[in-house]
Chains A and B, each alone.
Chain A
């Protein structure tokens, strides 16, 4: 842990970038609360809280409204079809219109994606894509109910990388019912692709799902993050918003900072205090955590 943290500090200095989306970066679901997978960790519950935008016109209207209120961007997400694809390509014209007529940053979750689809999204001027990488195909089968092989993940990563879309893959620690399975291998699968950051998330005990009582082991975050820093010495590593719950989030934040994470979404009070006590420069940004920190997205009125 010390070695990996030293690597991060050497590259970026002693700083922590905190991400909060609520003010300026809302998420919209292009499938409403519908999802064809009904995975064990989510059961569609996480879609219910998003702004539903189920057709291109609603998406454009919603985006314009948010833009006029000063939002910085939107995350276009939604449920998957039975093959693990979010139908974002069907919204590419709407995304193009949003990019042409507003100042919003637009990013998306796509799920599996072909090279053709990746180029269509590149042409829509979509700013970035978050893509969940599962390193153990039995986990993908058990949790997502997907019958996929490693090449399906690699070819999607290739497609996004080759289309030169900003890419920030996600790895979910403890996805397989709280146990570590393919998380470290997922890092190997991502290696060789052009990524802006790797977002480490973790299983959350979502009420009403099969995993509602299950939390990942906080130490597994340290294992994944130290390895990520080692494999990607030039890439900042990010701790995503979705990670366990309650007290464990504090332990995870502690271990993640000690392991050399540079960006944290929705930091716990503990993380903020730890950063202050250990001399970190801390800034807040109003976007999803996959996007690099920039002066345009810094949240004013938060620090002193």
Chain B
């Protein structure tokens, strides 16, 4: 049996597990299957080379091995019925990953026309071209860390991993020449300042690269990053990123003091309207990506997988005022 990993929520939407969710995923979250740890060694990741965590975890998500053919067959039906609007293929570094990735992309495109995103470390241009020809809709290269120094400590040499900041940036730039939609993931809460995160989102915005924000999630068995979760910091980066993404404010018009944002570059009533709308606090990334509970618990929601409700806005406003320091 050819296998693919699929998140439990995805399997439930596909009718392969009997489970009902408050917020069902609107994207199918998949990962190519291997039973070995990734050859990369990112500190936060359960699947990293030196992690003692479970292989099935991507952040909080539980990705169970499933029958690839059956998942793809049901994906076609779920896309037609309007339950799922995108397929997100996540990867890992191991011999055979390229074949497994292209096999999965081909099987999906043979079955239906659901837009496909691929999240992968930088590849060479011929591979990008091949993926583009196969019909990949969006390429994502997760940068994860917001500064070169953090990157080195968390994903690069400092973590005993193979990645470099420069090569990731180069990979993203090259991708924009080949794919219409290119994105990255930034994990907030690894020790960066408001400014580090927001400035990076601004730079990527100018280069046509979308930034999806994730909250750092400590997973059992991983080599933990020594930081404290700070919801105020997360909300500020989220709000500023939204203003940049929606082209309401430029990064250059925001003001910072010692790394913390002091002025979002929008007047009081304008900012109030944006916050009250709530959209700024919803999940970001490829279109139709809501990744319910990927980094959240029911007690602490960083990214809302659905429109934000009134009582939640009140809570978000209080969180925006929290200044625990970074």
Knowing A204-B20, A206-B20 are in contact, say whether A23-B220 is a contact too (CB < 8 A): no
Q: Give B15's nearest chain A residue, CB to CB.
A: A49
Which of chain B's residues 150-164 have a Cβ closer than 8 Å to chain A? none
State how many angstroms separate the Cβ of B136 from the closest Cβ of chain A.
25
User: Are B60's CB and A23's CB within 8 A?
Assistant: no
User: Are B17's CB and A266's CB within 8 A?
Assistant: yes
User: Are A21's CB and B20's CB within 8 A?
Assistant: no
> Using a Cβ cutoff of 8 Å, how many contacts connect chains A and B?
93
State how many angstroms separate the Cβ of A267 from the closest Cβ of chain B.
8
**B67 at the binding interface (Cβ < 8 Å):** yes
Type the 1/0 row for B222-265, where 1 means its CB is closer than 8 Å to any CB of A: 00000000000000000000000000000000000000000000
Q: How far is the CA of A302 from the CA of B54 in the complex (A)?
A: 6
Q: How far is the CA of A241 from the CA of B19 in the complex (A)?
A: 7
Knowing A22-B6, A269-B62, A299-B65 are in contact, say whether A205-B55 is a contact too (CB < 8 A): no
State how many angstroms separate the Cβ of A250 from the closest Cβ of chain B.
6
**B53 at the binding interface (Cβ < 8 Å):** yes
User: Are B55's CB and A303's CB within 8 A?
Assistant: yes
User: Are A21's CB and B17's CB within 8 A?
Assistant: yes
Type the 1/0 row for A242-285, where 1 means its CB is closer than 8 Å to any CB of B: 10111101100000000000000010011011001100000010
Which of chain A's residues 162-221 have a Cβ closer than 8 Å to chain B? 204-207
Knowing A273-B220, A301-B65, A304-B53 are in contact, say whether A22-B17 is a contact too (CB < 8 A): yes
User: Are A23's CB and B65's CB within 8 A?
Assistant: yes
Residues of chain A contacted by B56 (CB below 8 angstroms): 301-302
Q: How far is the CA of A301 from the CA of B62 in the complex (A)?
A: 12
Which of chain A's residues 15-40 have a Cβ closer than 8 Å to chain B? 20-24, 26
State how many angstroms separate the Cβ of B254 from the closest Cβ of chain A.
35
**B192 at the binding interface (Cβ < 8 Å):** no
**A70 at the binding interface (Cβ < 8 Å):** yes
Residues of chain A contacted by B8 (CB below 8 angstroms): 20, 266
State how many angstroms separate the Cβ of B49 from the closest Cβ of chain A.
12
Q: How far is the CA of A266 from the CA of B62 in the complex (A)?
A: 10
**B33 at the binding interface (Cβ < 8 Å):** yes
**B166 at the binding interface (Cβ < 8 Å):** no
User: Are B60's CB and A304's CB within 8 A?
Assistant: no
Knowing A269-B293, A276-B220, A304-B221 are in contact, say whether A46-B62 is a contact too (CB < 8 A): no
Which of chain A's residues 206-238 have a Cβ closer than 8 Å to chain B? 206-207
Q: Give A212's nearest chain B residue, CB to CB.
A: B20
State how many angstroms separate the Cβ of B47 from the closest Cβ of chain A.
10
Type the 1/0 row for A96-131, where 1 means its CB is closer than 8 Å to any CB of B: 000000000000000000000000000000000000
**B11 at the binding interface (Cβ < 8 Å):** yes
Which of chain B's residues 42-96 have a Cβ closer than 8 Å to chain A? 51-56, 60-62, 64-67, 69-70
Q: How far is the CA of A21 from the CA of B15 in the complex (A)?
A: 11
Residues of chain B contacted by A21 (CB below 8 angstroms): 16-17
User: Are B55's CB and A269's CB within 8 A?
Assistant: no
Residues of chain A contacted by B67 (CB below 8 angstroms): 22-24, 69, 71
**B3 at the binding interface (Cβ < 8 Å):** yes
> Contact partner of A23 among B21, B54, B64, CB < 8 A?
B64
State how many angstroms separate the Cβ of A162 from the closest Cβ of chain B.
30
Q: Give A21's nearest chain B residue, CB to CB.
A: B17
Knowing A26-B16, A277-B220 are in contact, say whether A20-B22 is a contact too (CB < 8 A): no
Interface residue count on the A side (C-beta < 8 Å): 39
- A24, A242, A301: which has the most chain B beta carbons within 10 Å? A301
> Contact partner of B21 among A22, A245, A299, CB < 8 A?
A245
> Contact partner of A22 among B22, B61, B66, B298, CB < 8 A?
B66
User: Are A245's CB and B20's CB within 8 A?
Assistant: yes
User: Are B55's CB and A242's CB within 8 A?
Assistant: no
Residues of chain A contacted by B318 (CB below 8 angstroms): none
State how many angstroms separate the Cβ of B125 from the closest Cβ of chain A.
32
Q: How far is the CA of A23 from the CA of B165 in the complex (A)?
A: 37
Residues of chain A contacted by B34 (CB below 8 angstroms): 301
> Contact partner of B60 among A24, A70, A269, CB < 8 A?
A269
State how many angstroms separate the Cβ of A117 from the closest Cβ of chain B.
26
Knowing A69-B1, A247-B298, A269-B293 are in contact, say whether A301-B17 is a contact too (CB < 8 A): no
**B35 at the binding interface (Cβ < 8 Å):** yes
State how many angstroms separate the Cβ of B116 from the closest Cβ of chain A.
21
**B18 at the binding interface (Cβ < 8 Å):** yes
Q: How far is the CA of A276 from the CA of B54 in the complex (A)?
A: 10
Residues of chain B contacted by A270 (CB below 8 angstroms): 297
Q: How far is the CA of A266 from the CA of B17 in the complex (A)?
A: 8
> Contact partner of B17 among A70, A204, A241, A246, CB < 8 A?
A241
User: Are A302's CB and B64's CB within 8 A?
Assistant: yes
Top 6 closest A-B pairs, CB basis? A49-B15, A246-B22, A301-B35, A245-B20, A70-B1, A22-B16
Q: List 27 A-B contacts (CB under 8 A).
A: A22-B11, A22-B17, A22-B66, A23-B1, A23-B3, A23-B65, A23-B67, A24-B67, A26-B70, A50-B15, A69-B1, A207-B20, A241-B17, A242-B18, A245-B19, A245-B21, A246-B20, A266-B17, A266-B19, A269-B60, A269-B62, A269-B293, A272-B54, A276-B221, A302-B55, A304-B51, A304-B53
Known A22-B66, A241-B18, A300-B35; 13 more pairs at CB < 8 Å:
A20-B8, A20-B17, A20-B64, A21-B17, A24-B67, A241-B17, A242-B18, A245-B19, A246-B298, A272-B54, A299-B64, A301-B34, A304-B52
